Structure 1
Amino acid sequence: MDKFYNMQVFAKVVEMGSFTAVANHLDTTIGNVSRAVSILEDALNARLLHRSTRRLLVTDAGRRFYDRSISILADIERAEAEARDALLEPRGKLRVHAVPGVGRSLVTRAILAYRDAYPDVSVELMLSQRMPNLLEEQLDIAVVIARTLPDSAYVSQMIGASHCVLVASPAYLAQHPAPERPEDLASHTCVLLSTVDYAPDEWHLVCSSGSVEYQHAGAHFIVNDMDAMAVALRDGAGIGLLAAFSAIDDLRKGTLVRVLPQYHTHQRNVYAVYSSRLFVDAKIKCFVDALKMHVGCQLDSYARELCIDMAAVR
């Protein structure tokens, strides 16, 4: 095995923290991964990793070697990519992860437009609520919604902003007078969303005159999927917070109506997240541009249509 390959293997071990994960990622054996690191250590006459049955720890020498290695490997990768035009022309497979709500609608439409523009790229879309490990799962990009992103080695670009509004069905409101103030929600049945980014027991609402935090004493229905929540609300289950991208069609058709229409939630940002590198493949760069055009612009359009006060949501 050559030195550059051994450096690549060692860099992956540092990033993934496991010989097994690297072996699966590179489609090789654990023995080959361990051997590559050992060869480097012998050549350098330095211990790069402390190994135990439970975990791997990077030594000081290993951390310095890793920092230098990824810079060298990135330069090599850039030279190879330029030779095959990967930085210039999108091609190959693009593996995308997205949270379900925005993924089922807006991201899917963005992918279709992207494929029309770049037919040499095939796209695989995976939907789930969690934030994936891009390296271990061999994903190119993830679309996530969050107030802020945790510190990580990933690169992120904000592609738009999402807002939630209070809605209920006409049938529910026909039997339960619409609340006039947030505190009136206490006399209503509330359907609550519970995900990584949404705490089910409280609603943070804002309007042009200020903000209010409504605490729920209890709920008859809590769900972790916004589309399922929309079904329950259309069927008269109560009042709930829906993201504009989930509520907009029902609001246009009248199957849902706004409740306390002057209120909405704080802004949650929609991010495109991808692995940290010194350069980015054209297929990823162009897809981020497609997300900004087809997701970000659409989210802005929804906010204008729903008269969301952009000055109040940040």
Structure 2
Amino acid sequence: MDMLRSMKIYSRVAESGSFTGGAQQLGVTTAQASRAISELEAHLRTRLLNRTTRRVAMTDAGARYLLRCQEIIERVEVAEAEAGDARALPTGHLRIHAPSAFGQHYVVPALARYLRKYPSVRVDLTLSQQSPDLLEEGYDVSLVVTTGRLPDSGMVSARLCTMPSVLCASQEYLERTGAPRTIADLRGHNCLQLRTSFFAPDKWVFEGNPSGGGMFELPPGKLRVNSVDALAVAVRESVGIAPVPLLTALPMLKSGELVRVLPGFELQTMTIYAIYASREYLDAKISTWIATLREHVEGAMVSFHDITGREDLVPAG
């Protein structure tokens, strides 16, 4: 027996005082309504309605039971409405994971915009380089940076942007040492190393120049770090030359704190994805967050288009 269906039928019949009237409101036959209430009474071992040929009347037990049924039905309807609204109105708790550097420079500013627009959402943001298990650790969205294809995880992925790394130095450093004009000229410079899974530890692979790219075997350097932010700061402080991921380099290139070196070349293209569990019945807080972040990143990339001369770094939508 479907208890909720039986409660709804009983409520309609009791409120209307008629099996026929109650049945019509729910789109069932009179016989179906009568049978549902008889089964309900048998289940409860209590008579809920006194029947005559013309009308029905509630017993005392039936009147008390009607109040409880109305409360239960109302709560179920509220729960259904709230669940349905989750697909239309962003609300509730949004749990996000992001890599540290990208999170600080782009996720946090995008979140500020998002929270102003959707004040009913609460956000829990975790910044770390270790990608989480979304389902096991309870995240709604994880942002992933990769240089290749995403592993097959059964999750849904949305591409946010593709970005290269660009070789940078400070103006002070270049004035002191001179600017390299070719890849081979880098041998006379202090080449800083980024120790991450994205970069080979002993070489830089250049691409993007019409005359072709090239591979540069790194000489022993004075500094090696495992943080993109730390590397960018070291370059800004005139320690040496290094490839910096474009989204990290953009603000400093705009302000003049960094200068592009060998601007015809790029290194190590990376793609940023938003990963989430399912495309079906996607919660509004997830879809609107991804849209807000993509819009924020696109704005940054477009505003610095003149730095790279490329229009293919951001997906159309």
Q: CA deviation at 1:283?
A: 0.7
- 1:222 is aligned to 224
Q: Distance in 1 between matches of 2:82 and 2:279?
A: 15
Q: Distance in 1 between matches of 2:301 and 2:81?
A: 34
Pair 1:204–1:269, CA change in 2 (3 A): same
- SS in structure 2 of the partner of residue 271 of structure 1: strand
The answer (yes or no) to whether the contact 1:169–1:233 under 8 Å persists in 2 is yes
- 2:286 is aligned to 284
- 1:234 is aligned to 236
- 1:305 is aligned to 306
Are 1:115 and 2:115 an aligned pair? yes
Q: CA deviation at 1:97?
A: 0.8
Q: Distance in 2 between matches of 1:200 and 1:81?
A: 54
- 1:47 is aligned to none
- SS in structure 2 of the partner of residue 132 of structure 1: coil
Q: CA deviation at 1:312?
A: 10
The answer (yes or no) to whether the contact 1:141–1:274 under 8 Å persists in 2 is yes
The answer (yes or no) to whether the contact 2:90–2:288 under 8 Å persists in 1 is yes
Are 1:155 and 2:156 an aligned pair? yes
Q: Distance in 2 between matches of 1:103 and 1:211?
A: 31
Alignment map for 1:176-215 (pairs within 5 Å): 176-209=177-210, 210-215=212-217
The TM-score normalised by the length of structure 2 is: 0.68
The answer (yes or no) to whether the contact 1:165–1:243 under 8 Å persists in 2 is yes
Q: Which amino acid aligns with 1:116?
A: R
Q: Distance in 1 between matches of 2:145 and 2:103?
A: 11
- 1:87 is aligned to 87
- SS in structure 2 of the partner of residue 135 of structure 1: helix
The answer (yes or no) to whether the contact 1:207–1:309 under 8 Å persists in 2 is no
When the two chains are superposed, the root-mean-square deviation of aligned CA atoms in Å is 2.3
* Identity %, equivalent residues: 38
The TM-score normalised by the length of structure 1 is: 0.69
Pair 1:115–1:85, CA change in 2 (3 A): same
The answer (yes or no) to whether the contact 1:208–1:309 under 8 Å persists in 2 is no
Pair 1:156–1:112, CA change in 2 (3 A): same
Are 1:100 and 2:100 an aligned pair? yes
The answer (yes or no) to whether the contact 1:94–1:121 under 8 Å persists in 2 is yes
Q: Distance in 1 between matches of 2:232 and 2:139?
A: 29
Aligned partner (choices 239, 263, 266) of residue 264 of structure 1: 266
Q: Distance in 2 between matches of 1:100 and 1:236?
A: 23
Pair 1:238–1:81, CA change in 2 (3 A): farther
Q: Determine which structure has more spread, i.e. the larger CA radius of gyration.
A: 2
Q: CA deviation at 1:231?
A: 1.4
Q: CA deviation at 1:197?
A: 2.2
Q: Distance in 2 between matches of 1:95 and 1:289?
A: 16
Structure 1's unaligned 5+ residue stretches are 1-78
The answer (yes or no) to whether the contact 2:169–2:258 under 8 Å persists in 1 is yes
- SS in structure 2 of the partner of residue 157 of structure 1: strand
How many correspondences in the alignment?
Answer: 234
Are 1:250 and 2:235 an aligned pair? no
